[in-house]
Amino acid sequence: MTNLGPATIFVPGKPLTDIWAPPGLEWQRKLRSAAAGPLRNPYLRFVRNDRNHFDVDNLAYPVLAVAGCAACESVWVSVERGGAEGVWIKEQPPPPPPAEAMSVRIEKPNTSSVPGREPPPEITEASVVAPGMLLGLSLEFDSDKVQVGELSFEGPTKSLIDDLGPLLGFRPYMGRTVSDDERVKELRITRGHFPGRTGVRIVIWPLDAGQHRRP
């Protein structure tokens, strides 16, 4: 672990998504030693230099799992190539998404991932956003009770992203088609925009390919 200042740390090593396999256990150990306490508004900036594709939420989950998912009030994650592999961790709420970005509301988002489920009716006829480009994705939940740090299959974020195939496009996976969430290289999750309601505003925008290169 390298201290980059009073509010930022760097955990070196290849960020992994499976924290129960032997290499992942070592990554988990490094993360535990770096997490001084619960993260409330984590900004996680990952660097990986291999050619594997990966979901940004899957990279973030091990960090949040060891630091305390329940404490999160917002989550901001990005992944890129270039430089030393690892993750920078700091407390910083995400900025608002670009004003000109595409946005849509879903009034009743699903709360757990189910393969083969029909997409929400609000996006059934939607067009794919910026085909072929890497994307930023903002999820603005109405409720202030949403567990934004719970990025497992039982949490609201992964379930929602899995339903966004009409907007993200689709890719083959183990004999079926799934949401092409590998395009998302920056993810911003916030809550409490309309307490008492249960919807979510989804905002998607293309990223600068020079900074976010697809592995």
Token code pair at residue 172: 């083959």
60 SS3 class: helix
Each residue of 97-142: pLDDT tens digit? 999 999 999 999 987 666 667 889 999 999 999 999 999 999 999 9
Q: Which residues of the chain have pLDDT under 70?
A: 1-6, 36, 112-116, 209-215
Residues 6+ apart with CB under 8 A from 20: none
Q: How far apart are CA 128 and CA 125, in angstroms?
A: 10
Q: Are strands 102-106 and 200-206 parallel, antiparallel or unpaired?
A: antiparallel
Which runs of E-coded beta strand occur in 72-210?
75-80, 86-91, 102-106, 135-141, 170-173, 176-179, 184-190, 200-206
pTM: 0.90
Domains of the chain by start residue, with CATH: 2-91 (3.30.1330), 102-206 (3.30.1330)
Q: Please tell me the distance from the alpha carbon of residue 72 to that of residue 41, in angstroms, as a whole number.
A: 6
What is the structure's pLDDT at 46? 95
What pLDDT is stored for residue 118 in this prediction? 84
